[in-house]
Structures are given as structure tokens and as C-alpha cells.
Amino acid sequence: MLQPPTEGEFQTLELLWQHVHNVARDQGYAVSTLRSNMTHNQIEIGCDRSGTPNANKNPSKTVTSRKLDCPFRLYSRKYAKSTTWTLEVKNPEHSHNSTENIMGHPAFRKCNKKETSQNSQMSESLLMPRQIQAQLCSHRESERPVILQEIYNQVKKISKDKLQGRRPIDTLIDNLKKENIVWSSARDSEGHITSLFFTHPLSIKLLHGFPHVILMDCTYKTNKYKIPLIHIVGFSSTNKTFYGAFCFMKNETETSYTWALNQYIEKILNNTNIFPPSVLVLYKDLALKKSLKKLIPDSKVMLCIWHIKKDVRYSSTEKSFKDNWKKLQKQVKNPEVLQYLENTWLPLKEYYVPDWTNHHCHLGVGSTSRVEGAHAMVKIWLQKYTGTLLEVVRALHMAFRNQFIEIINRISKEMIVHVKIFPPQIYALNGKVCHYALQMAFENFKTKFPPNRKCTRQYKNHQEIPCKHETQKAFFRIQRLEISDFHPQWHLNLPTCFQGDDQSVEKERKNEAKNILEDIGEEIFQIQMAEITPVLQHSQDVLTGKVPFNQIPKGQENDKYYEEPPECKNIRGRP
């Protein structure tokens, strides 16, 4: 027979529970709260195998349960004039035998308060459940195992508790406003978000410092709605990629791209006096290309050469391009393939053939591999492909901040760390020009070429780094290269917009919060009953069944009411 806990009085409820759990563990069973009334300080405790299994409503699905209608009962009470808790055994009988391995009971696998707090902190830092499990296993004092499913359940509960009963979309909108995020959205007539553009003030600082070349591309599998995410990226003076902005779109049409680019122009370029990029590199998406030519006509557009047939791509001059095209026409026997090339790629030759693109200062960016690498990093931050907009934006918000710190640290490091292998003509630029550009100039100097070969200046035009001819002249004349020989993109001086970084952002946020709090009282008195009445009437109509539950309250169609995006049905399926 399984022995019940000893009856008695306890100074605190925690001590009572500790006594009950210790006895239950030793005897091979577990207990849990069946009912409680904390107003009158009464708790009914039973075996965790009490109760009857739920009815199997779906015969095709296997239903499991540990419940055996066990009659074991304990009562705990704290009387009004007493300072102690009393434990009474009402029914000591069990309808089952002792459990050999007590860890089969959830009560003995639960995390304590300290571990729960640690789980919350690690979840807030975007650690995955298996990483949280590894941390707990390495630091847990007892021999109690950490079950991965328990971690998943707790992380889910933590996320639900943070919402405080609100919808994720409402929490997202509030967070965007409070976190000083630059954002804008578009909605349909029912309030569903169809597009969401957002960026971080720190990313705007990076775009302000390095606006010359921007890459754009869409990625998928980032959210539960299956809507594409357009990714706008740039790169710093140390050749490190950074996130410029993101935009969720319902589809990849010219209308959606035009809206996203309008937000990029209004929220970033116009508001912060950032010059439009000199060159925009993108995957061959005609809808995006058309929108770019309309909205940013002065920027040169280039297509990713990685996705273009090599026979056409490797043509350094217009003449060689025409010759290679004639050879290709003779080699291709299938007329449909030839027609595809003529209709799809030939009209766009100015956007990818080096004889045309090398006249643009693209700083060596000829493909979207940089932005595709950024896609991969985004998905590492997201951890899963089924997150809500709230979860995705929250993860990317942390990515923005961490990336800014990494880039500033890298620039600051290269300003004081000098490369020793450079000759004197280049060494003097250590700390002024990034290591990447200096290394490129050094490689150009080491390259041998015929002395009578003329300089076409193509390399200088598109890289803005001293070419082979310039470096050879500088070395033969024992003349140092100057910082002006390199494009400003490669200079290591931190723009003034970087000063203050995180601390200035926090200060601005605190000042903004203070102003909001000061204005709350005044705003409350400015609310008119005419604005409140429609909302109250709508609630009454919903309760009485006059209007559907999901109908938008009158007066909230445009500025206050948000719904989650509808799931995208027509997706292209690219990664």
C-alpha cells in the first residue's frame, strides 16, 4: 500500500507542498492541485492519476491518458485566526501500484522558479528550446532530467503570458510605436495587413554612411502566412553586409514593389537626407526593375550575373558579346530555348554584360549572393518558418541592433590594427582605408601584365580602387597611394551620424516616452463621447448577434484596427 503524507501543521504553504512532494516521490506517485479557493485558503490535493480519461471523439486518432480515477485525496486549509496550514488525509487509497521511475510524472519534471526565470531570459534572447535544454542540463543541481517537450511547453506559455490576453498583431503595433521603429503598413478593407515596411534607426545610420550600392531580393519561408519578405541590404567600409530594411508584401507584383519602394524613399531617403544609391543590384525580377526605374530613375540597375547563362555572361566587350551570341545561336538546336534567351535575356544585356555594367561604380558587387547570404542569417535569427509577424519583427529587431554593434566594432578595429605585409606605398593608408581595399590594391600590384598594355579604366570605374596600371606607376616612382585614390565607401572614418550609437537611441527613446506620459492626461480629456459610442455600440451588436464578430467597428476602418495577414496561396517557392 502506498503511504500518504503525515498529517500536521506547517508554517507556510511552500513547506506543506515540499513535504507532500517528498513523501509522494519516495512512495512512487505524484500529486497535484484538484481544486483551490484561496479566498478561504482551502486546497484539495489529489493523485495526478485521478479523474477519468477524456472521451475519444476521433476514433482514427490514438488517445493516451495517465488518468485511472484514483480516489486519493488530501485537504489543506489555513483557518482565519491561525498562522499555519493544516494538512488532512481524506482518502489514503490508490487505484494503482507504485511507479518504478518517478520521472514519468510531469510534477517531478517541472522547472523550479529559478529555472523558469532562466528559461524566460533565454527565450527572450531567442535561444532555441534545445539550447535552453542544454543550458539547464549543464547547470541543474539535481539529477532531475530536462525534457525537451517541457521546454517547448514553457516557452509557449511564456509567449502567451507576455501577450496579457491581447492579440499578437495588437502587441506588434504597440511595440513598433514604442520601440522607435520606422515603419508603415497597408491594409485591405477588412483591416488585414497586406504590406508591412520596417527598419531600425541604427540601420538608417548605416544607410546614411554607406548609401552607394544597395541590393534587393525577396525571400520566403519566414512566416506562417507564407508571404514574401523583401530584403534591402548594403555593405560597410569593411565589406560587411548589413540589413537596411525589410518589407512584407502579399505578392511580388509591380504594385506591391512600388508601395515598398515608396516607403523606402519616404521613410529613409527623404526623412534623413540620404542620397539615392548609385547602383541597385537585384535578382531578375521585372516587376521590381520597373518600379525602380519609375521611382529612382537616376540609380543604375544591375541584374545578378549568377543567375544568367555563362555563355552570355562572360563577354567583356560589346563586340565579344555579339560574337558569343552568334556562336550560341549555332550551338543551340532547340528553337524554344533560343526563343527564351532572345525574349528573356537578350533585351536585358545592358543590366548584366560587363561591357555595360563596368561603367557603373558598383564596387565589385555583380551578384545577389551578398543578399542571399543575408537571407540565411535572417532565418538563423528567426529559428522557424511559422512565426507570427510579432515574432519575426521581434527577432529582426535584435538582429538590427547586434549587426550595428558588429559593424562599428569592425570599423574601429581596422582603424587601429595595421596590416604589416603591405609595402610603404600602401602601408601609410593603414587606419584610413579598409583592409579589403588595400589588399585588392596590393593584389593588383603583384599581378604581371605586358608593359605596353593600355589602361581601359574599367576596373577603376566600377571598383574605385587603384588598378594595375596605377599601382605599378606608384611603385616604380616610389610614390604613395593617396586616400583620394579610393572610393569614400572604403574610407574608415566613422560618419558623424554614427556618434552616440546605442546610447543616443536609448536617450531619444526615454525622452519620447517622457513626452508621451506628459501628454496622456491632456489626451484623455480630449476624447469625445462621439468617438467612444460607436465602439460601445459595436460591442453590444456583437453580443446580441446583430453583426459578425470579425466585422471592423465603425470608425476604425482606416487608422486603429489591424488584422493578421491572410495566408498567401500563390507562392513561388524560392528559399
Query: Tell me, what DSSP letter sits at residue 209?
Result: H
Q: What was the pLDDT predicted at 360?
A: 62
Q: CA end-to-end span of the chain, whole Å?
A: 60
Lowest mean pLDDT among 91-100, 132-141, 426-435: 132-141
Band the pLDDT of 527: cuts 50, 70, 90: very low
Closest alpha carbon to 245 in 206, 285, 290: 206
Closest alpha carbon to 86 in 96, 94, 73, 76: 76
- Residue extents of the structural domains in the chain: 1-108, 110-165, 179-407, 417-494
Is pLDDT of 562 > 50? Answer: yes
Band the pLDDT of 498: cuts 50, 70, 90: low
Lowest mean pLDDT among 268-282, 343-357, 450-464: 343-357
Closest alpha carbon to 75 in 27, 23, 36, 19: 36
Is pLDDT of 513 > 80? Answer: no
- Cell match 517541472: residue? 110
Helix axes 168-178, 148-163, angle to 10 degrees: 70
Lowest mean pLDDT among 172-186, 262-276, 390-404, 459-473: 459-473
Q: What was the pLDDT predicted at 444?
A: 80
- Cell match 488532512: residue? 88
Q: What was the pLDDT predicted at 262?
A: 92
Looking at this protein, which amino acid is placed at residue 510?
Answer: K
Q: What was the pLDDT predicted at 505?
A: 47
Band the pLDDT of 458: cuts 50, 70, 90: low
Closest alpha carbon to 397 in 97, 133, 130, 180: 180
Phi, psi dihedrals of residue 197, rounded to the nearest 5°: -105, 135
Closest alpha carbon to 295 in 265, 320, 315: 265
Is pLDDT of 390 > 70? Answer: yes
More confident residue, 520 or 561: 561
Work out the mean pLDDT of the chain and round it to a whole number.
79
Q: What was the pLDDT predicted at 544?
A: 64
Q: What was the pLDDT predicted at 530?
A: 47
The 10s digit of each residue's pLDDT in 391-417 is 999 999 989 989 999 999 999 999 999
Beta-ladder partners of 91:
73
Q: Which of 38-42, 296-300, 440-444 ranks highest by mean pLDDT? A: 38-42
Band the pLDDT of 319: cuts 50, 70, 90: low
The 10s digit of each residue's pLDDT in 258-280 is 999 999 999 998 887 788 888 88
> What whole-number distance in Å separates Cα of residue 59 and Cα of residue 66?
19
Q: What was the pLDDT predicted at 317?
A: 57
Residue 341 CB burial class (10 angstroms; 0-12, 13-18, ≥19): middle
More confident residue, 168 or 280: 168
Q: What was the pLDDT predicted at 59?
A: 73
CB 62 within 8 A of CB 36: no
58-67 mean pLDDT: 80
Write down the pTM of the prediction: 0.72
Band the pLDDT of 480: cuts 50, 70, 90: confident
Q: What was the pLDDT predicted at 557?
A: 46
Percent of the chain whose predicted confidence (pLDDT) is above 70: 72
Band the pLDDT of 526: cuts 50, 70, 90: very low
Band the pLDDT of 27: cuts 50, 70, 90: very high
Phi, psi dihedrals of residue 349, rounded to the nearest 5°: -60, -30
Give the strand pairing for 279-282 and 213-219.
parallel
The 10s digit of each residue's pLDDT in 77-119 is 998 888 899 999 999 999 999 988 887 888 887 777 788 888 8
More confident residue, 1 or 253: 253
Residue 97 CB burial class (10 angstroms; 0-12, 13-18, ≥19): exposed
Lowest mean pLDDT among 16-25, 451-460, 559-568: 451-460
Q: Interior CA angle at 320 toward 314 and 326, to 5°? A: 95
Ranges of beta strands (E only) in 18-177 are 31-37, 42-47, 73-77, 85-91
- The phi-psi region of residue 411 (left if phi > 0; otherwise alpha if psi is between -120 and 50; otherwise beta) is alpha
Q: Give the contacts of 321 (CB within 8 A, at least 6 positions apart).
A: 312, 315, 349, 353, 355
CB 248 within 8 A of CB 196: yes
